[in-house]
Amino acid sequence: MTESVTKRKWYVVYTRSRWEKKADQLLKEQGIRSFCPVVKTQRKWADRNKTVEFPLFSSYLFVYADLREQVNVRQTAGIVNFVYHCGKPAVISENEIERIHDIIQCYPDVETMSLPAFQVGDKVKMKNGELMNWKGEIVEIHGKSVVMIIEPLNCALVAKVKVPRAALAIQ
> Is there a single domain that holds both residue 44 and residue 119?
no
Domain count of the fold of the chain? 2
Is 43:52 a contact under the CB 8 Å cutoff? yes
Q: What is the pLDDT along the chain (171 residues), one digit of tens a residue?
A: 555 567 999 999 999 999 999 999 999 999 999 999 998 888 888 898 888 889 988 999 999 999 999 999 999 999 999 999 889 999 999 999 998 898 888 877 777 755 556 778 888 777 766 667 777 788 777 666 667 776 655 555 555 555 554 556 666
Structural domain for 29, as ranges? 3-106
- Alpha-carbon distance of 119 to 123, in angstroms, equals 9
Q: What is the pTM of this model?
A: 0.66
> What is the chain's percent helix, strand, coil content, to nearest 5?
25, 40, 35
Is 121:137 a contact under the CB 8 Å cutoff? yes
CATH code of the domain in which 127 resides: 2.30.30.30
> Is there a single domain that holds both residue 50 and residue 129?
no
